[in-house]
């Protein structure tokens, strides 16, 4: 499944679009390799929600896509996985999205594994 990001629907500066796409691809890569686990689930939820939102995507749909494709298993979560996303979305009015996350980890993962990302079951790309 390829999820295309339309530049004109993004809420972030054009210079930041690729970084947010890399955050989502990095999250997918990490979760596929067992890193949706205790100590990381909140980070995944926050980073996924912020990146999706800034790219003009519905974070609820994104998390559901990852669950449907068995990238994230809600049975491995001690909380309601989708509720984690809703909690972050509740912050929209009170936080500056650009300062909620530190995207470096996931952007580095995405860039280091660019060839692997091309064959992941869910992949985010910029639609020109």
Instruction: List, for residues 61-114, the tens digit of each pLDDT value.
Output: 999 999 999 999 998 888 898 999 999 898 877 766 666 777 788 899 999 999
Question: For residue range 5-23, what is the model confidence (pLDDT) as tens digits?
Answer: 999 999 988 999 999 999 9
Give the residue carrying structure tokens 């790309």.
125
- pLDDT at residue 98, as a whole number: 64
The model carries a pTM of 0.90
Per-residue model confidence (pLDDT) at position 94 = 72
Structure confidence at residue 123 (pLDDT): 95
pLDDT digits (tens, 9 = 90+) for 25-66: 999 999 999 888 888 898 999 999 999 999 999 999 999 999
CB 64 within 8 A of CB 29: no
52 vs 56: CA distance, rounded Å: 6
User: Is beta strand 2-6 parallel, antiparallel or unpaired with respect to 123-127?
Assistant: parallel
What local confidence, expressed as pLDDT, does residue 68 receive? Answer: 95
């Amino acid at each position: 499944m390829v999820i295309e990001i339309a530049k004109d629907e993004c809420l972030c500066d054009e210079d930041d679009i690729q970084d947010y796409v890399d955050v989502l691809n990095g999250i997918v890569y990490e979760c596929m390799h067992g890193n949706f686990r205790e100590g990381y689930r909140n980070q995944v939820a926050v980073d996924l929600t912020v990146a999706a939102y800034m790219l003009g995507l519905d974070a609820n749909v994104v998390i559901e896509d990852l669950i449907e494709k068995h990238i994230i298993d809600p049975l491995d979560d001690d909380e309601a996985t989708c509720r984690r996303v809703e909690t972050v979305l509740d912050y929209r009015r009170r936080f500056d999205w650009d300062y909620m996350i530190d995207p470096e980890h996931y952007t580095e993962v995405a860039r280091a594994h660019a060839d692997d990302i091309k064959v992941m079951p869910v992949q985010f790309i910029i639609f020109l």
